[in-house]
Structure 1
Amino acid sequence: MTTLFIALGSLVLYLVAYHTYGKWLARRIFKLDPDRIPPSVELEDGNDYVPTSKGVVFGHHFTSIAGTGPIVGPALAVIWGWVPALLWVLFGSILIGAVHDFGSLVVSMRNKGQTVGDISGRILAPRARILFLSILFLALTIVLAIFGLVIANVFKFYPASIFPCLIQIPIAVVIGLWLHRKGMNLTLPSLVALGVMYLTVYLGDWGPLGAFNAALAEWSVLTWCVVLLLYSYVASVLPVWVLLQPRDYINSLQLLSALALVIIGLVIAALFGFGSGAEKQALEIAAEPIRIGENAPPGAPLMFPFLFVTIACGAISGFHCLVSSGTSSKQLKSEADAQFVGYGSMLTEGFLAVLVILACVAGLGLGIPEIIDGEKTGAILTGADAYHARYGSWQAAGGLPAKVGAFVDGAGNFIQALGLPAKFAIALMGVFVASFAATTLDSACRLQRYVTQELGAAIGLKVLTNKHVATIFAIVVAGVIAALPGGPGKPYGSGGLLLWPLFGATNQLLGGLAFLVILFWMWRRNLPVWFVAIPALFMLFLPATAMILQLFAGDGAWLTGTQPNYLLGAFGLATLALEAWIVVEAAAAWPKAKGVLEPELTRSES
C-alpha cells in the first residue's frame, strides 16, 4: 500500500500547496489584479498576442513545459533509490519550480510579454541582456537539435504511436478555427477530438494504419529531424491560435486523461492486486529507498549534485521561464489566471514526475519480459529482479530506450490493471511520450524565434528581428547540428547528442538566472525576497558545481579526462563564464537597486 499512499499523499500535498502557498504568492506578493490590462489585450495582434481562456493556455503551458523531461529525468534518477528522487520532486516543485514558473509569468506580464532574457537588461544591468539571451539561445538550440532525435526514436520503439501523433495536427487546426469564432462552446469538439485520438491509439496496429505506422517507423533519424524542423517552422510563424494553442490544448486533454488512467490502474493494482486468479501479484515498491556507498549503482556519478541536474522538469527547469515569459504571458486574458497557469501547471508536472517514479520502482515490478543480448527469453521478471534488470548500472539505465522503456512498461502495467489490452497500454504510453516531446519541439522553435529577434535587436542586427528570418536562422543552426552523426557509429541526424550532455546543468543554471530577474524585480519594489533568494542561490550553486565536476573531475571529465571532449569543454566553460559575468553584474547592481524601479519600456521595446 506504500505506492498508493505516496500517489494519493502527493496529490493532496499539491492541492494544499496550490491553495495555501500559491494563493499567498498570488495575493500578497504578486498582487494579481483582474482589472489590470494584460499584454494579450493591450498588444493584441492576432498572431502572438491573443487573449485566451485560462483552460486553453493551461493546456499549452503544461504540455510545453513538460515535454519528456519529467519522464526521462525521474526515470533515470531512481537509480539512486526512490526516496531522494521523490523528495526532490515534491519539495522542489512546490518551493522552487512553481515559484520560478509563476514569477517568470508575472514579471513578463508586467513587462508587456517580454522574455526574461530581454527584461534582464532593465531589471539587472544593460549588459545582462545580451549575456542572458546568449545562454537562452544555446539552451534552445540544444533542445531543437535533440528533440527530433527523441521523437524519431520513440516512433521507432513504438510505431503504433505515429499516426495518433500526426492526426493531432489537422484536429488541432479544426479546433483552432472553432475556438477563434467568438462565443463557440469548446466542450463538444474537445470530446470529439479526444475520442478520435483514443480511437487511433486503439487501432494503431490495425491493417492500413499498422502498415502506415510501420512504413514511417523505417524513416531515418535524419529524415525525421528535417520533417520535424520544417513543421516547427510552420508552427512558429502561424498565428498562435491556428496550431500551437489548439494542438497543446487537445494534447493536454489526452495526456491528462491518460494520467487519470494510470492513477486508477495504480489504485486497482494496490487494492486488488495485479493479474488474475490465484496468481495475482501485490503492488509493492521493488527498488531500494536509497543507493549510496557500497550499494551505489556501478558507474553512477555522485548523487549530490547530479540528482538535482538529472531531475530538471518535475522539480525545477530553466526552460520553463521561457514558456512562461515567451508564449503564455502573451495569451492570458486576465492577470488573475496567472496562478492557475504558472503555479498550477508546475504542480501538475510535479505530480506527473511522482507517477513516473512510481511506475519505474513499483509498476516495473509487476512484470517485464526478460531480455538478454537484445532478445526476449520468454521469462517474466517481477519485483526487485525487474527493477535491477533496468537499473543494474548507470550505463544500463542511461540510454533513451532504457529511460523511456522503464516508464512505458511500468505505467503500461498500471493501465493493464484496468483490464485493458497490453498492446493498447503500451501504445498509449508511447503516444504519451511522443506527444509531450512534439509539443515541446514546436513551442521551443517559437521561443527561439522570440529570443533570436530580441538578440538581433540587442546587437543591432535588424534582419534578425523579422519573424521569418529569425525562425529560419534558428532551425538552420539547430538543423546543421542535428544532421551530424552524434559520435562514432551514430547515424546522421543524431548530432544533438554532441551537445546534449550540456543541457542538464545549463538548463538548471538558466533557472537560477531567471530567479535573479524575479529577485531584482521584487527587490526594486520593496517586496519580501527570502523565498526567492534561497532558491536562486541554490540553483546558481548546484548546477555550476555539476558543470565544474563534468569539466574537471574523474576519468570522463570533458577537459581533463582520459578521453577529453573539447567541444563540450569549450561550451561548458563558455556557459560558466556567461553565468559568472551575469552574477557579477547582479552583485554590483544589488546595493543600488532596492526601492528603485527599473526604466519603463519605451514604445520601440514593447
Structure 2
Amino acid sequence: MTWFLLCVGLLIGGYFIYGAFVEKVFGIKTQRKTPAFTQTDGVDYVPMSKGKVYLIQLLNIAGVGPIFGPILGALYGPAAMLWIVLGCIFAGAVHDYFSGMLSVRNHGQSVPNLAGKYLGKNAKHFMNLFAIILLLLVGVVFISAPAGLLSKLTGVDVAIFVGVIFIYYLVATIVPIDKIIGRFYPFFGALLVFMSLGLTIALMLSSEHTMLPGFVMGDFFSNLNPNDMPLWPALFITIACGAISGFHATQSPLMARCVENESNGRFVFFGAMIGEGVIALIWCAIALSFFGGVEGLNAGMAGNPANVVYEASNGLLGAFGGFLAILGVIVLPITSGDTAFRSARLILAEFFNITQVELPKRLMLALPLFAIGAVLTQVDFGIIWRYFGVANQTTAVLMLWTAAAYLLRHGKFHWICTAPAMFMTCVVISFMLNSSTLGAGLPMVVSTVAGVVTTVIIAALIIIKTKGKGDVDSDEEDNTILTNDQ
C-alpha cells in the first residue's frame, strides 16, 4: 500500500510543483479575453465554469485507455506504475496543458492548425491526416469496448448496443456543446471519481487481497512480464492515456473554446491529466493486487482486459457495487467517443473552412465520419487497438514538437517540451522499426539505435530552424481585455 500511496502523492505533488513551473514558463495572461467570449456561437464556443470544464475535460480524455492500458501494462509489473507517474507529470500533463493553452491563444483552433503555425504547412497536413485517423480509431474503439461490456452485463447482442451508441454519438456530435456534454458530463465525471475511490478503498480494506503483494523497490525497475515481452519500447505504447496520449491533444481544444480565463488552464488541462494518471494507477494496482501478481493477472485476463474490470469490480464491491463500477467504466469510453467524433468534425470544418453554426453543415461533415466508423467496427478489436496505440503516440509526438517550437520562437525554456518530445519520438520510431506486425521487424538493438539517431536529427533540425525565429500570437495581436463583469 505504501508504494501506491507514494505514487499518488507524487502525482499530486507534480500538479502543484511542476504544474506551477510549466504555467510560469508558458506565461498566462489573465486579462486577455478567451475564445469562449470573443467567439461565442452557442454551439462550440460557450463559456463554462472552471469546475464544469475540468470534469468534462477529464471525461473527454479518460476513455478505456487509462483502464485497459494500465491493466495490459501491469503485466510488466510495478514498472508500469513508475511510467504512469513520470510520464504523466513530465510528458502527458505538459502535452495536455500546451495543447489546450495554445488553442486558447489561437482562437480555439485545433491541433493541425497549431502544428501548421509553429512547425510549417507540411506538419499541418501530416497532423490533419493523423488526427482524423486517430479520432476515427478512438471512436470505433470507444464503441466496441462499452458495447462488449454492456452485452456481458445484459446478455443482449453486442450489435444492438453498437447501433444504440452510434445513434447517441451522432446526436451528441452535432448538438450545441452545452446541451448534452455541458449538462450531463460533469455528473458523469463525479461518478468516475467516486467509482475510482470506491474501488481503491475496497481494495485497501479487503481481507482477501493485499495491495501490491510481495513487490519490492527493485520490481519498479524490472520487467516481470510472464510472457517475456520486452519492456522497451512496448510499455510506452501500451500505457498511453494514463501517461501521455495524443488523443488528448484533439480533445483539449474543445474545452479551450469554453475556458473563461487563462488562469483556469493549469487546473483544467494539467490537472485533468493528473486525475487520469491517478485513475490509471488505481487500475494498475487493482490488476496487480486482485489476482495476486503478474502470473495471476495473466491467467485472469485471458487476453482481454475487460475480464479484469468485470471480475475485480464484482469481487471488490459485490454484485450491486460491481454493477455501478462497471457502469462507470462503460460511461468513460462513451463520453470520449462522442467527443472524438466532435473533434473530427471541427478539424474538418477548419480544413474546409465550413462554419458550424447551421445544423445542415454540421451533418454534412458528421455523417461521412460515422459511415467510415461503422465500417471500421467490423474490423477485429485487437487490430484496431494496435493501430490506435501507434497513431495515438505519434500524434502526441507531433503536439509536443509543436509546443517546443512555440517556446523556442519566444525564447522560453523549451526543454519542458523538447525532452519528452525526444523521448516519445524515440519510442515511436523504435517500436515501428521493431514491430513485425506494424513495422519493419528489425532487431531491437538496431531499431533502438536508429530511433536514437533519428530523434537527435529531428530535434536538431527543429531547434535550428525554429529558435529565435520570433512570432506574435493571435492573442497578442488582439489587445482586448476582460471587462469587470467577465
TM-score, normalised to structure 2's length?
Answer: 0.87
With over 3 angstroms needed to count, the CA separation of the structure-2 counterparts of 1:485 and 1:99, relative to structure 1, is closer
Q: 2:303 aligns with which of 399, 402, 411?
A: 399
Per-residue deviation at 1:397?
4.2
Q: 2:264 aligns with which of 337, 346, 360?
A: 337
Per-residue deviation at 1:589?
8.2
Give CA deviations for 1:343-373 in whole Å, capped at 9, x if unaligned. 11111111111111111111333xxxxxxxx
Q: Does 1:74 align with 2:42?
A: no
Distance 2:359 2:349 in 1: 5
Q: Does 1:30 align with 2:26?
A: yes
Q: Does 1:46 align with 2:42?
A: yes
Q: 1:357 aligns with which of 284, 301, 306?
A: 284
With over 3 angstroms needed to count, the CA separation of the structure-2 counterparts of 1:585 and 1:469, relative to structure 1, is farther
Aligned residues: 460
Q: Does 1:123 align with 2:52?
A: no
Instruction: Give the aligned partner of residue 297 of structure 2.
Output: 390
Distance 2:302 2:91 in 1: 26
Q: Does 1:18 align with 2:33?
A: no
Per-residue deviation at 1:399?
3.2
With over 3 angstroms needed to count, the CA separation of the structure-2 counterparts of 1:441 and 1:267, relative to structure 1, is same
Q: 1:156 aligns with which of 151, 154, 175?
A: 151
Give CA deviations for 1:524-578 in whole Å, capped at 9, x if unaligned. 111111121110111111012112222xx4xx566779xxxxxxxxxxxxxxxxx
Distance 2:264 2:425 in 1: 29
Per-residue deviation at 1:239?
0.6
Per-residue deviation at 1:11?
2.8
With over 3 angstroms needed to count, the CA separation of the structure-2 counterparts of 1:290 and 1:592, relative to structure 1, is closer
Instruction: Give the aligned partner of residue 449 of structure 1.
Output: 345
Instruction: Give the aligned partner of residue 242 of structure 1.
Output: 179
Distance 2:70 2:372 in 1: 30
With over 3 angstroms needed to count, the CA separation of the structure-2 counterparts of 1:330 and 1:590, relative to structure 1, is farther
Identical residues among aligned pairs (%): 24
Q: 2:471 aligns with which of 597, 600, 606?
A: 597
Per-residue deviation at 1:505?
1.7
What is the SS of the residue equivalent to 1:304? coil
Q: Please tell me whether the aligned partners of residues 453 and 465 of structure 1 are also in contact (alpha carbons under 8 angstroms).
A: no
Distance 2:212 2:119 in 1: 50
Which sections of structure 1, spanning at least 5 residues, go unmatched? 160-213, 276-280, 366-383, 416-421, 487-495, 562-579
**Where do 1:223-242 residues align within 5 Å?**
223-242=160-179
Per-residue deviation at 1:120?
1.6
**Where do 1:241-320 residues align within 5 Å?**
241-269=178-206, 274=207, 283=211, 285=213, 289=219, 296-298=225-227, 300-320=228-248
Instruction: Give the aligned partner of residue 535 of structure 1.
Output: 420
Give CA deviations for 1:161-217 in whole Å, capped at 9, x if unaligned. xxxxxxxxxxxxxxxxxxxxxxxxxxxxxxxxxxxxxxxxxxxxxxxxxxxxx4xx4
Distance 2:221 2:467 in 1: 45
Instruction: Give the aligned partner of residue 478 of structure 1.
Output: 373
Q: Does 1:147 align with 2:32?
A: no
What is the SS of the residue equivalent to 1:303? coil
Distance 1:120 1:558 in 2: 25
Q: Please tell me whether the aligned partners of residues 124 and 586 of structure 1 are also in contact (alpha carbons under 8 angstroms).
A: no
**What RMSD over aligned residues (CA atoms) do the two structures have, in Å?**
3.0
Distance 1:254 1:479 in 2: 29
Which sections of structure 2, spanning at least 5 residues, go unmatched? 443-453, 479-486
Distance 2:249 2:175 in 1: 22
Q: Please tell me whether the aligned partners of residues 318 and 511 of structure 1 are also in contact (alpha carbons under 8 angstroms).
A: yes
Instruction: Give the aligned partner of residue 399 of structure 2.
Output: 514
Distance 2:473 2:210 in 1: 62
Instruction: Give the aligned partner of residue 167 of structure 1.
Output: none
Greater than 6 Å deviation, 4+ residue runs:
290-293, 557-561, 583-586
Q: Please tell me whether the aligned partners of residues 524 and 598 of structure 1 are also in contact (alpha carbons under 8 angstroms).
A: no
Q: Please tell me whether the aligned partners of residues 409 and 466 of structure 2 are also in contact (alpha carbons under 8 angstroms).
A: no
Distance 2:379 2:133 in 1: 19
Per-residue deviation at 1:23?
1.2
What is the SS of the residue equivalent to 2:259? coil
Instruction: Give the aligned partner of residue 327 of structure 2.
Output: 431
Q: Please tell me whether the aligned partners of residues 445 and 471 of structure 1 are also in contact (alpha carbons under 8 angstroms).
A: yes
Q: Please tell me whether the aligned partners of residues 39 and 109 of structure 1 are also in contact (alpha carbons under 8 angstroms).
A: yes
Distance 2:45 2:239 in 1: 32
Give CA deviations for 1:283-317 in whole Å, capped at 9, x if unaligned. 55267937978x6423x532100000000011100
Q: Please tell me whether the aligned partners of residues 122 and 598 of structure 1 are also in contact (alpha carbons under 8 angstroms).
A: no
With over 3 angstroms needed to count, the CA separation of the structure-2 counterparts of 1:485 and 1:318, relative to structure 1, is closer
Q: Does 1:110 align with 2:110?
A: no
Which stretch has the larger CA shift, 228-237 or 315-324? 228-237
Q: Please tell me whether the aligned partners of residues 74 and 357 of structure 1 are also in contact (alpha carbons under 8 angstroms).
A: yes
Q: Please tell me whether the aligned partners of residues 10 and 90 of structure 1 are also in contact (alpha carbons under 8 angstroms).
A: yes
Per-residue deviation at 1:329?
0.3
